[in-house]
A and B are shown apart, each in its own frame.
Chain A
Amino acid sequence: MELNLALGFGLVTASILALGAVGFTLQFGITNIFNLSFGQVMTVGMFAAYLINVQGGQSLWVGVLGGALAGAVVSGFLNKTVFMPFLRRGVSLDGIIIVSLAVGLVLENVMLAFAGPSFKAYNQPRTHSIHVLGMILTVQQLLIIGISVAALVGLHLLLRQTRLGKAMRATAANAGLARTSGIATDRVTMIAWCLSGALCGAAGVTFALNLATFDTTTGSSLLLVVIAAAVFGGVGQPYGAMLGALVIGLATEFAALVSPNLKEVIAFAILVVMLLVRPDGLIPSAATKETMGAR
């Protein structure tokens, strides 16, 4: 019984993590930038949804879309005004990590200045619980799982069925070759940033929804686990990130059955073991190349 319950709770956690981890890894796969401001962009999404839902009186589900849009706009803006100029000046990717850290701190403190330190909560009706196969899930949690599945299926279709997806995969595999083949890699990169930002914003809103309240530091508190899921799956591999999120989401809930203190211990221990056994993550690079269609 307890295992079934933990499985249900783990699926909700995994759904939130999957949105974030896929967003993180999608942008990394194409730009090679290890973006540590990702957590704060999640918080931007939370606040955008708050403005729409609480200040604007709109449905929370409109807020989720607004959060995704805000994440896309902020990510695109950061790419255009911060990361691209630094890359053009020849700053190393290691240096860009520090820049992204600084950008995150700036974002967090700007939000703190405007929103203040108090906690915010969405206007959401309290929904009843549904018992399925020994799991207890609320309607809201089922919707979170639904949003995650829809977003990831949509991303899969985009990557596999559209010219843009092909261009993104080509840029991820070899940007130079993609450029000489006539692909507008700058444009593709910008779209990747926006897509990543949209997933990041949606992850932020679903995370805040699940937590019940949030403040300006909430997004950054999830960053480490999002990165763990992305690295577990193989950084730059969207499908790996989905699997990574599932494994880490479930592992943390099962660990809580033994002791809540073990939640993060188990998650990161699994990550360390995985990296010892498969340094490239769950999906090895050869398979990735095939998955991403680098041909």
Chain B
Amino acid sequence: MRTRRLLAGAVALLAVVIAGCGSSSSEIGSGALVMASYQPYTGPDAAYGPEGTALCSFAAYEINSGGGVMGHKFQCEAFDSTGDPADALPVANRMLANTTNLIMVYGPTQSAQRAVEPVLNQEKIVHFPDSGDPAYDHQTSPYFIRNGPSDSLAGTAIAAYTANHAGYKHVAIAFTNEEAAQTVVPALKETFAKLGGTFTSEQTLAPGQTSYRTEISHILASHPEAIVTEMDPQTAATFFSEELELNGGELLPTITTSAALDSNWVGGVAKAIGPEQFMQKIVAVASNTPTEGPGYEEYLQALKKAPNNIPERENYAADPYAQLGYDGLVCGALAMLEANSLESEKWAPYVPKVINGEKGAIVVHTFPEGKKAIEAGKTVRWSGAAGLVTLNKYNNSSTPFTGYKWNGKGNGVASLEPTGGEVSSKELEEAGGA
């Protein structure tokens, strides 16, 4: 008798587990809707996690202050993707299986993306990856929305900026051997050569080394006009501080990618080399992310007022990753309103429509503004923290690029201003970009 009861209990438990595994994450019940920050919170990329939590909290504040969506408030939950693909997948599976009312995801990062992307698409979870992996340049899933640039486009843009706007034709390149950096290199080399440029030295750096002095000596001996680079914060701090030592206290003009706009990169490198050289010599070429205008002002308000305990929230004031992430999540909420549905199959196709705007769409800068317009039967185009963004048919950004430098206003070196060199969409197209 006891055995039968145990058996029956086990079968019931198994049924519950199977039902749980089989249920679609897009089935939404009552209660708050969950936006997941699926980012590394531990390991070498642990700085991305707090950024994900912060931008999600700003977006939740913005949406909730406008009354939420269809009677639901929004809240954020953090999931540690660890930065290691082997660990990232089980975490994603647990997130999908155990999170009630999971509505959309900020992430994955590049290190986890190839492992996790199929699962997110299969479960029909709208997600905003903060990865530039060119493998997804021509993806077709409606649940994938990359409102930041692909690395291949970034490579084309940085080459065009270096040759056409900064005027350097003989440069050294130094990229770390990580996938996230290496995916920029092919397009950069191809475009730069096409524009008549030559490389005086090409260094592929292994991150985490005790020193890069030999590599730097090699670069300096080749007498480049500038260095074009992408490095993780730790490698960049070591590399640039050693370059200062070996080059008489001066950095060569340095052109880097949007990776440098991450607040952790800025903080780490500025501490290592001091603000003066940082502001004078380093330029980051990134997709246009203005730090002014009504959409940006609204973002700043959300940044200030979001109630969660967010340490050093001011660091995200001029952080394009945080701005684009915030924009993506708010656009997701507006898409639900336009689709009048919480079923991801129905509202996912509206996200590109909200971002690009359809004919006759009203440009909106805040969630309440957008909600009001949609309720009045209009369609909207979002111009938020990162300004206007354009998605192509593969749900990838095709926004123009600008060179940014740091001006020292506001929080340390963290305020950005455009150098005046904009790589337009036309220029990108002519140079061979998307």
Which has the most chain B C-beta neighbours within 10 Å: A9, A109, A218?
A: A9
Contact B234 A112 (CB under 8 A): no
Counting CB contacts under 8 A, is B233 at the interface? yes
* Chain A residue nearest in CB terms to B241: A212
B206 contact from A13, A108, A260, Cβ within 8 A: A260
A114–B394 Cα distance when bound, in Å, is 42
Task: Mark interface residues in B245-279 (1 if CB within 8 Å of A CB, else 0).
Answer: 11001000000000000001001110111100000
Counting CB contacts under 8 A, is A121 at the interface? yes
A85–B181 Cα distance when bound, in Å, is 46
Contact A13 B204 (CB under 8 A): no
A217–B82 Cα distance when bound, in Å, is 13
Contact B218 A126 (CB under 8 A): no
Residues 338 to 380 of chain B near chain A (Cβ within 8 Å): none
A245–B273 Cα distance when bound, in Å, is 28
Residues 213 to 270 of chain A near chain B (Cβ within 8 Å): 213-218, 221-222, 225, 249, 252-253, 256-257, 259-261, 263-264
Contact A119 B264 (CB under 8 A): yes
B50 contact from A117, A215, A261, Cβ within 8 A: A117
Contact A126 B244 (CB under 8 A): yes
Contact B204 A211 (CB under 8 A): no
Contact B46 A216 (CB under 8 A): yes
Given contacts A126-B249, A257-B214, contact A119 B206 (CB under 8 A): no
Contact B249 A211 (CB under 8 A): no
Counting CB contacts under 8 A, is B75 at the interface? no
Contact B205 A213 (CB under 8 A): no
Contact A264 B206 (CB under 8 A): yes
Contacts of B209 in A (CB 8 A): 252, 263
A212–B213 Cα distance when bound, in Å, is 13
A228–B206 Cα distance when bound, in Å, is 17
Residues 122 to 146 of chain A near chain B (Cβ within 8 Å): 126, 129, 136, 138
Counting CB contacts under 8 A, is A24 at the interface? no
Contact A256 B237 (CB under 8 A): no
A218–B244 Cα distance when bound, in Å, is 22
Counting CB contacts under 8 A, is B42 at the interface? yes
A221–B242 Cα distance when bound, in Å, is 19
A210–B214 Cα distance when bound, in Å, is 14
* Chain A residue nearest in CB terms to B237: A213
Contacts of A252 in B (CB 8 A): 209-210
Contact A129 B311 (CB under 8 A): no
Quote the shortest CB–CB distance from B56 to chain A (angstroms).
16
A218–B43 Cα distance when bound, in Å, is 10
Contact A13 B234 (CB under 8 A): no
Counting CB contacts under 8 A, is B208 at the interface? yes
A149–B271 Cα distance when bound, in Å, is 29
A249–B213 Cα distance when bound, in Å, is 13
Total number of B residues with any Cβ neighbor in A under 8 Å: 44
* Chain B residue nearest in CB terms to A6: B214
Given contacts A2-B217, A121-B271, contact A222 B264 (CB under 8 A): no
* Chain B residue nearest in CB terms to A120: B271
Counting CB contacts under 8 A, is B110 at the interface? no
Counting CB contacts under 8 A, is B6 at the interface? no
Counting CB contacts under 8 A, is A194 at the interface? no
Counting CB contacts under 8 A, is B98 at the interface? no
Given contacts A211-B237, A213-B272, contact A17 B46 (CB under 8 A): no
Contact A207 B215 (CB under 8 A): no
A264–B217 Cα distance when bound, in Å, is 19
Quote the shortest CB–CB distance from A125 to chain B (angstroms).
11
Counting CB contacts under 8 A, is B332 at the interface? no
Contact A129 B245 (CB under 8 A): yes
Counting CB contacts under 8 A, is B238 at the interface? yes
* Chain B residue nearest in CB terms to A9: B213
Residues 65 to 94 of chain A near chain B (Cβ within 8 Å): none
The bracket for how many chain A residues form the interface is 35 or more
Contact A213 B43 (CB under 8 A): no
Contacts of B424 in A (CB 8 A): none
A241–B245 Cα distance when bound, in Å, is 29
B205 contact from A2, A16, A260, Cβ within 8 A: A260
Contact B268 A5 (CB under 8 A): no
Quote the shortest CB–CB distance from A108 to chain B (angstroms).
8
Contacts of B274 in A (CB 8 A): 126
Counting CB contacts under 8 A, is B203 at the interface? yes
Given contacts A2-B221, A9-B211, A121-B272, contact A112 B245 (CB under 8 A): no
Contact B214 A118 (CB under 8 A): no
Contact B237 A261 (CB under 8 A): no
Quote the shortest CB–CB distance from B218 to chain A (angstroms).
7
Quote the shortest CB–CB distance from A45 to chain B (angstroms).
15
A106–B46 Cα distance when bound, in Å, is 15
Counting CB contacts under 8 A, is A116 at the interface? yes
Contact B210 A211 (CB under 8 A): yes
Quote the shortest CB–CB distance from B330 to chain A (angstroms).
25
Counting CB contacts under 8 A, is B47 at the interface? yes
Given contacts A207-B210, A253-B211, A260-B204, contact A109 B42 (CB under 8 A): yes
A231–B173 Cα distance when bound, in Å, is 35
Quote the shortest CB–CB distance from A286 to chain B (angstroms).
33
Contacts of A214 in B (CB 8 A): 234
Contact A222 B210 (CB under 8 A): yes
A210 contact from B211, B240, B269, B312, Cβ within 8 A: B211
Quote the shortest CB–CB distance from A251 to chain B (angstroms).
12
Given contacts A5-B214, A212-B272, contact A218 B234 (CB under 8 A): yes
Given contacts A213-B233, A213-B272, A261-B177, contact A16 B210 (CB under 8 A): yes
Considering the complex of A and B, which 6 residue pairs feature the smallest CB-CB distances, nearest first?
A119-B268, A212-B272, A121-B271, A212-B241, A256-B214, A117-B46
A interface residue numbers (CB < 8 A to B): 2, 5-6, 9, 12-13, 16-17, 108-109, 112, 116-121, 126, 129, 136, 138, 207, 210-218, 221-222, 225, 249, 252-253, 256-257, 259-261, 263-264
6 contacts between A and B (CB under 8 A): A6-B214, A12-B210, A119-B271, A218-B234, A249-B210, A260-B212
Given contacts A119-B264, A257-B214, 20 further A-B contacts (CB under 8 A): A13-B211, A117-B49, A118-B47, A119-B267, A119-B271, A121-B271, A136-B245, A136-B246, A212-B237, A212-B238, A212-B242, A213-B237, A214-B234, A215-B46, A217-B43, A222-B210, A252-B209, A253-B213, A256-B215, A261-B204
